[in-house]
Chains A and B, each alone.
Chain A
Amino acid sequence: SAVISQKPSRDICQRGTSLTIQCQVDSQVTMMFWYRQQPGQSLTLIATANQGSEATYESGFVIDKFPISRPNLTFSTLTVSNMSPEDSSIYLCSAEKGIFEQFFGPGTRLTVL
């Protein structure tokens, strides 16, 4: 199994600012992903965080808005840049270890005023 922690757990930010969310896994994993869950909605994939190379973004998400780093096999960051109220969501990271099971962090609840 894998235990995932995220920092911060929640934050309230002003529009126009940026927030970096950290995701730490307690063991080495192959794949890491970032999702967004808007209020009352399901999870939407933002990007796949690739170790040592640029992240792979899903349609509708761009690197300038959501830069992602993954410097090693246990850590990744997601930055939400130039925030607006529409970015208010829960941001979750997940990691795949082995073949089938993905483990999720508890999420970061972001409110943008």
Chain B
Amino acid sequence: DAKTTQPNSMESNEEEPVHLPCNHSTISGTDYIHWYRQLPSQGPEYVIHGLTSNVNNRMASLAIAEDRKSSTLILHRATLRDAAVYYCILRGISGYALNFGKGTSLLVTP
């Protein structure tokens, strides 16, 4: 499996934008970039995914580098509820389990 590299932790102020980076230099052409997050004492939840183009949804935006070797999850206005561990995961189109790395622990301060 292609691996991802994320910072162990990041900190943000409430209502500020947050950019969470992920490096995946060995990504294959068929790998999708997925982001999940795990709030304290909960199971992970899907955030967003993309293949080549930047993607937006109600939760976040995903910016993918042109060479696809890195991506950035963007939370436009962090709230205290966004404090979680964010996982960047590469995966084929369907039917495969998620290979969770260590993720980035995001701390949001008032």
User: What is the interface of chain A, defined by CB distance below 8 A to chain B?
Assistant: 4, 30-31, 33, 35, 42-45, 48, 92, 94, 96, 98-107
Complex-state Cα separation, A107 to B41, whole angstroms? 9
Would you list 16 pairs from A and B whose C-beta atoms are within 8 A, ordered by A residue? A33-B97, A33-B98, A42-B100, A42-B103, A48-B97, A92-B44, A98-B94, A100-B32, A100-B46, A100-B49, A100-B93, A101-B46, A102-B36, A104-B43, A104-B44, A106-B42
Chain A interface, DSSP helix/strand/loop, else mixed = strand
Given contacts A100-B32, A100-B34, A104-B43, are A45 and B94 in contact (CB under 8 A)? no
Number of interface residues of B (CB under 8 A): 21
Complex-state Cα separation, A103 to B45, whole angstroms? 7
Taking a contact as CB atoms under 8 Å apart, the answer to whether A30 and B100 are in contact is no
Taking a contact as CB atoms under 8 Å apart, the answer to whether B87 and A42 are in contact is yes
Q: A94-B43, A94-B97 are in contact. List 11 more A-B contacts (CB 8 A).
A: A30-B94, A42-B100, A45-B98, A48-B97, A94-B44, A101-B46, A101-B49, A104-B44, A104-B45, A106-B43, A107-B42
Would you give the shortest CB distance from A102 to chain B, in whole angstroms? Answer: 6
User: What is the interface of chain B, defined by CB distance below 8 A to chain A?
Assistant: 32, 34, 36, 42-46, 49, 85, 87, 93-95, 97-103
By beta carbon, the residue of chain A nearest B46 is: A101
Complex-state Cα separation, A86 to B32, whole angstroms? 34
Contact of A99 among B36, B94, B97, B98 (CB under 8 A): B94
Taking a contact as CB atoms under 8 Å apart, the answer to whether B94 and A100 are in contact is yes
Would you give the shortest CB distance from A107 to chain B, in whole angstroms? Answer: 5
Complex-state Cα separation, A92 to B97, whole angstroms? 13
Contact of A105 among B43, B46, B49 (CB under 8 A): B43
Most buried by B among A30, A33, A42, A105: A42
